[in-house]
């Protein structure tokens, strides 16, 4: 009954109103823009610091990865600006095509000689130094599709077989394709973001738990069948049992964080980045940040993500229509959940899953998608209701 009531209240609060001009065309949310801008700036600084040793060793240029991230930032900013200025309702019509494109992109990755293999994982397509990660764009495609379907289905989401289960089909399809790469982190993120959107739409908690109980055994089976993923999960339970092998990532991450203390060793003074900590400028960049900037810097980053989440929630609650509401919920959930999963990994609070830290970790595809999510949230925020602040 509570879930049904929640669904009705959201439907009443976000009835489709046309035209959008009945709402205030407001400037971008100041705190939202500020939080993302600071996170991106911190990311550029930390990428230069964390990657300098590896970049010099591999490319004789300590700023190699910094320059590449700066290039992707320019591209991402241009795409994000276009996403901010567009009529976001266009995405509702394009939703089925975006889902199909996501499936095709993930399928291309798995084709030999098309998908690029790095460290045993086939996650990229492209050539030479220009590569894209389809799983990143699949997250955005799924969010848009679910936002469109939830807007269309209305209160049917409270029904298990007619509402919730059909919407889980594309989620599971994309998750399976991503797991084949293999990429357990992104696959689990797709499911978690979908759960957040279904909960916001008014899905009944018992139904959500029933779905979890159904898919969890299959997910566990897939993980345990893979020696690599099984080792990661077991290492999370006790990383110190095998600190030189399966627990190496987590142990080195904890040593880096612990050596930072309250104020940190100082910007650029990390020792872990000198080939002790793997993935030091991508998935484990937060460890270097904690070592160099200490608890103060780490907590500041966490607070910035909380500010982002708070402002996104405010925008969602004042969205002009249901589609805008669900679009903001999906985009915000993806960024915030991914951020705290990444932080959970580096602090040994979550199994090692290979999820980058939004806006901060090195990676062009991730940066572009996160900037587009931010832009779509700000886009919906332009048309908030007159009495919203």
Note the pLDDT tens digit of each residue in 372-381: 999 999 999 9
Report the candidate in 319, 373, 246, 275 with the shortest Cα–Cα distance to residue 57. 275
Per-residue pLDDT, 216: 84
For residues 233 and 186, the model is more confident at 186
- Contact assessment for residue 338 and residue 346, using Cβ atoms and an 8 Å cutoff: no
- Contact assessment for residue 148 and residue 115, using Cβ atoms and an 8 Å cutoff: no
Query: Average pLDDT for residues 309-333, to the nearest whole number?
Result: 96
- Kindly tell me if the per-residue pLDDT of 6 is higher than 70: no
What Rg do the C-alpha atoms of the chain give, in angstroms? 21
**Residue 100 counted as domain residue:** yes
Per-residue pLDDT, 122: 82
- Kindly tell me if the per-residue pLDDT of 72 is higher than 80: yes
Report the candidate in 98, 148, 164, 143 with the shortest Cα–Cα distance to residue 322. 148
Enclosing domain of residue 323 = 2-381
Helix segments in 60-162, DSSP class H: 64-85, 90-109, 134-153
**Residue 309 counted as domain residue:** yes
Query: Average pLDDT for residues 256-269, to the nearest whole number?
Result: 95
For 116, the enclosing helix (H) or strand (E) is: strand 115-118
**Residue 389 counted as domain residue:** no
**Residue 64 counted as domain residue:** yes
Task: Say which residue the tokens 């705190």 belong to.
Answer: 31
Per-residue pLDDT, 10: 52
Per-residue pLDDT, 1: 42
- Kindly tell me if the per-residue pLDDT of 19 is higher than 50: no
3-class secondary-structure state, position 211: helix
Report the candidate in 27, 24, 13, 136 with the shortest Cα–Cα distance to residue 72. 136
Give CA–CA dist 127/135, Å, rounded: 17
**Residue 386 counted as domain residue:** no
Task: Say which residue the tokens 């400037």 belong to.
Answer: 27
Q: Which two tokens stand for residue 120?
A: 């045993």
**Residue 388 counted as domain residue:** no
- Give 3-state DSSP helix, strand, coil % of the chain, rounded to 5: 70, 5, 25
223: which DSSP letter? Answer: H
Q: What distance, in Å, lies between the first and last C-alpha atoms of the chain?
A: 31
Q: How many domains does the chain have?
A: 1
Q: Which two tokens stand for residue 329?
A: 């919920």
pTM above 0.85, yes or no: yes
How many helices, marked H, and strands, marked E, lie in the chain?
13, 3
């Amino acid at each position: 009954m509570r879930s049904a009531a929640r669904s009705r209240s959201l439907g009443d609060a976000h009835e489709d109103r046309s035209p959008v001009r009945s709402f205030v065309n407001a400037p971008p949310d100041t705190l939202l823009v500020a939080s993302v801008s600071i996170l991106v700036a911190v990311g550029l600084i930390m990428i230069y610091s964390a990657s300098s040793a590896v970049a010099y060793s591999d490319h004789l240029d300590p700023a190699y990865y910094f320059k590449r991230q700066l290039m992707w930032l320019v591209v991402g900013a241009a795409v994000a600006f276009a996403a901010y200025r567009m009529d976001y309702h266009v995405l509702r019509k394009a939703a089925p095509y975006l889902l199909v494109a996501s499936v095709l992109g993930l399928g291309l990755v798995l084709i030999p000689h098309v998908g690029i293999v790095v460290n045993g994982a086939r996650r990229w397509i492209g050539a030479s130094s220009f590569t894209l990660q389809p799983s990143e764009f699949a997250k955005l495609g799924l969010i848009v599709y679910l936002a469109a379907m939830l807007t269309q289905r209305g209160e049917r989401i409270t029904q298990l077989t007619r509402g919730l289960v059909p919407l889980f089909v594309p989620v599971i399809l994309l998750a399976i394709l991503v797991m084949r790469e293999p990429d357990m982190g992104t696959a689990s993120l797709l499911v978690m973001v979908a759960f957040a959107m279904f909960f916001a739409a008014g899905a009944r908690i018992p139904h959500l738990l029933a779905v979890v109980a159904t898919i969890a055994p299959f997910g566990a089976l897939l993980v345990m069948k893979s020696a690599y993923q099984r080792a990661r999960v077991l290492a999370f339970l006790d990383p110190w049992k095998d600190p030189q092998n399966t627990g190496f990532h987590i142990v080195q991450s904890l040593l880096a964080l612990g050596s930072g203390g309250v104020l940190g060793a100082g910007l650029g003074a990390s020792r872990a980045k000198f080939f002790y900590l793997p993935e030091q400028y991508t998935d484990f960049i937060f460890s270097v940040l904690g070592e160099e900037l200490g608890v103060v810097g780490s907590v500041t980053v966490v607070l910035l993500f909380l500010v982002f989440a708070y402002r996104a929630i405010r925008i969602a609650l004042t969205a002009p229509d249901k589609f805008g509401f669900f679009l903001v919920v999906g985009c915000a959930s993806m960024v915030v959940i991914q951020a705290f999963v990444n932080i959970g990994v580096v602090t040994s609070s979550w199994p090692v899953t290979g999820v980058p830290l939004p806006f901060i970790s090195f990676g062009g595809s991730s940066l572009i998608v996160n900037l587009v999510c931010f832009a779509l949230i700000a886009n919906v925020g332009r048309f908030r209701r007159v009495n919203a602040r």
